[in-house]
């Protein structure tokens, strides 16, 4: 199956904010930052179900995420900021000190096998 293209918008969640106080090395924080929210129709198009792993690719890098059905627009996906989203960002900040991190056009393809171990 060929990779599909979608619009990725990283964001922060309230649950993620609570976990920052606990620590970024905990299993719950890692689970939050490695879960991709996607419309059920897009999941069907890619050929994955809730909990399945996908590889998200930008022109700068790639990262693996678990899928979660969400009430989001078709063609748009959301992932909380974290180490995996940093692997997708380029280094240009356009003088702001923060790399562009919204509205990336990405390719998504299914990944076989088990969830990767946390570093």
pLDDT given at position 43: 95
Both tokens of residue 100?
């562009």
pLDDT given at position 24: 66
Confirm if 94 and 110 have CB atoms less than 8 A apart: no
* Cα distance between the two ends of the chain: 29
Query: Is 116 inside any structural domain?
Result: no
Give the chain's domain count. Answer: 1
Query: Is 119 inside any structural domain?
Result: no
Query: Is 22 inside any structural domain?
Result: yes
Between 62 and 114, the more confident residue is 62
Query: Is 117 inside any structural domain?
Result: no
Domain range enclosing 84: 4-111
Domain containing residue 41: CATH number: 2.40.40.20
Query: Is 56 inside any structural domain?
Result: yes
Query: Is 23 inside any structural domain?
Result: yes
Position 1 pLDDT exceeds 50: no
pLDDT given at position 112: 74
- Residues 45-54 have a mean pLDDT of 94
Between 33 and 11, the more confident residue is 33
What pLDDT digit, counting tens, does each position of 67-119 carry? 999 999 999 999 988 888 888 887 666 777 766 667 788 999 999 754 555 44
Position 34 pLDDT exceeds 50: yes
In angstroms, rounded to a whole number, what is the distance separating the alpha carbons of residues 22 and 29? 9
pLDDT given at position 96: 73
The pTM of the whole model exceeds 0.85 = no
């Amino acid at each position: 199956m060929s990779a599909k293209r979608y619009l990725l918008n990283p964001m922060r969640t309230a649950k993620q904010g609570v976990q920052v106080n606990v620590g970024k090395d905990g299993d719950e924080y890692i689970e939050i930052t490695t879960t991709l929210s996607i419309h059920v129709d897009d999941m069907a198009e890619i050929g994955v179900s809730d909990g399945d792993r996908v590889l998200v690719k930008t022109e700068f890098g790639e990262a693996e995420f678990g899928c979660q059905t969400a009430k989001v627009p078709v063609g748009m996906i959301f992932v909380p900021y974290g180490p995996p989203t940093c692997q997708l960002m380029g280094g240009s900040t356009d003088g702001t000190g923060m790399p562009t991190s919204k509205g990336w056009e990405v390719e998504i393809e299914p990944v076989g096998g088990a969830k990767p171990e946390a570093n």
